[in-house]
Amino acid sequence: MKTNISDALYQQALTLMPGGVNSPVRACRNVGKTPLFIERAYGDKLVDADGNEYIDYVCSWGPNIFGHCRKEITESVIRAVQNGLTFGACHKGEIELAELIKKNVPSIELIRLVNSGTEAVMSAIRAARGYTGRDKIIKFEGCYHGHSDGLLAKAGSGVLTNSLPDSEGVPKGCTDNTLSATYNDENSVKELFERMGEEIACVVIEPCAANMGVVPPKEGFLKFLRQITSEYGALLLFDEVITGFRLSAGGAQQYYGVKPDLTALGKIIGGGMPLAAYGGKREIMECIAPLGNVYQAGTLSGNPVAVAAGIAMLRLIEATPDLYSELDRKSALLEKSLFQKGIYVNRVGSVLTPFFTDGTVTDFKTAKSADVKQYAKYYSHLIENGILVAPSQFEAMFVSYAHSDEDIYNTIKIIENFLE
């Protein structure tokens, strides 16, 4: 596989950006590779600068649930662009997108559009603190909620992959109010509430973790969090940046039947453009400026072009009745073939992770026991054979509606010959 153009571009990028990338995981350092430079994408395919084509299971880390360049979305963006790129003022698209989200995620009574998942979670936590008047938050080891200072404490995803237990540059004070619990371990949460319950503003969780690899909530865990937060007057914040519109049109809260007080969304709702959101109970969100005294703002928030992509995406979801059943069917084929070859796979709907471990992965500790060198070999074998998966054991594999059965079977064949 020739990659000299990507390699040359990478050398140039290294002189301009830290690690030559605009997001650490793309540097592929943990799989001992250098990044490909992608030229174009269509359906479930990516084409790199050297003309190599790949079946894409990264799907831009989640947004592309219909694959790349789905015409309903691209045409809607092209139309929007012709009316102007950004107004810095209200426009009706914001109402339409907000209504589409509220319709599918009824726990969201009031919503605020922002530009990234990081911003969505950071702002939701500020709303929780403003509403409760409390400072402490509980997060779970191995979960990643974006790179705001207070949340880079035993985060998953990039930080876990780069094995930085905490990020440098985050002043100690910023994480003093961040308590870490163990995913799927009720006692670790109970103990914190018993010690500091009255000081806890919210519990923030990925209702199905996907940043230490996919780790589903064990039976009753989310319900337990719902109960204990209500008991202590703390709020429950679901970070559904990945799971929102991914596990179902109502996200993980519909899939698992547990209603949070606040939700952060991103990725899919932007249709591939930089757009995210946070929202929840009216009386909580009424704390947000200009109504309330919790300040949050954004130059490009509710951007008309990004909103047009988001509206097209959510309309497409509503117009595709077999979306989630098809995603589940295709993803199950991958899961089954991996499992039959002795690989431990965690899968929920169309997000899955093959773990190179000696047993099932149920939390941060078991995820970290994975053989990342073996994963690197797996990654290299796949990419050499035209299959692109996450360049890290601690991410998810995404299946899109554009993945054909034939591509799934080709993928299985290539994975099986690696495992043999």
Give the residues lining the site for ligand KE4 (CB under 6 A): 23, 25, 61, 116-118, 121, 144-146, 157-158, 206, 211, 239, 241-242, 266, 276, 395
CA 298 to chain centre: 21
Angle value at C-alpha 109, between 104 and 110, nearest 5 degrees: 110
What tokens appear for 10 in the block?
């990478």
Q: Which of 389, 393, 404 is nearest to 54 (CA)?
A: 389
Q: Hey, what amino acid is at 191?
A: E
Whole-angstrom distance, CA of residue 418 vs CA of residue 420 = 5
* Residue among 31 and 242 whose Cβ is closer to ligand KE4: 242
Closer to ligand KE4 by CB, 56 or 395: give it. Answer: 395
Least CB distance to ligand KE4 at residue 410 (A): 25
Please identify which of the residues 144, 183, 255, 378 carries the catalytic annotation: 144
Biggest alpha carbon–alpha carbon distance for the chain: 61
Residue nearest ligand KE4, Cβ-based: 117
Cα distances (angstroms) measured from residue 271 to each of 74, 209, 279, 314: 9, 22, 19, 8
Choosing from 136, 154, 267, 281, the catalytic residue is 267
**Which of 146, 251 has the CB closer to ligand KE4?**
146
Q: How far is the CB of 71 from ligand KE4 (least distance, A)?
A: 25
Smallest gap from residue 267 Cβ to ligand KE4 (A) = 7
239 assigned to active site:
yes
Cβ closer to ligand KE4: 267 or 337?
267
The candidate with the shortest Cα–Cα distance to 157, out of 116, 217, 210, 207, is 210
- Which one from 48, 185, 239, 407 is the annotated catalytic residue? 239
Smallest distance, Å, CB 252 to ligand KE4?
A: 10
In the complex, the smallest distance separating the C-beta of residue 341 from ligand KE4, rounded to whole angstroms, is 25
CA–CA separation, 172 and 166 (whole Å): 10
Comparison of 121 and 343: residue with beta carbon closer to ligand KE4: 121
Q: Which of 266, 16, 271, 289 is nearest to 127 (CA)?
A: 289
Q: Which residues are catalytic?
A: 144, 239, 267
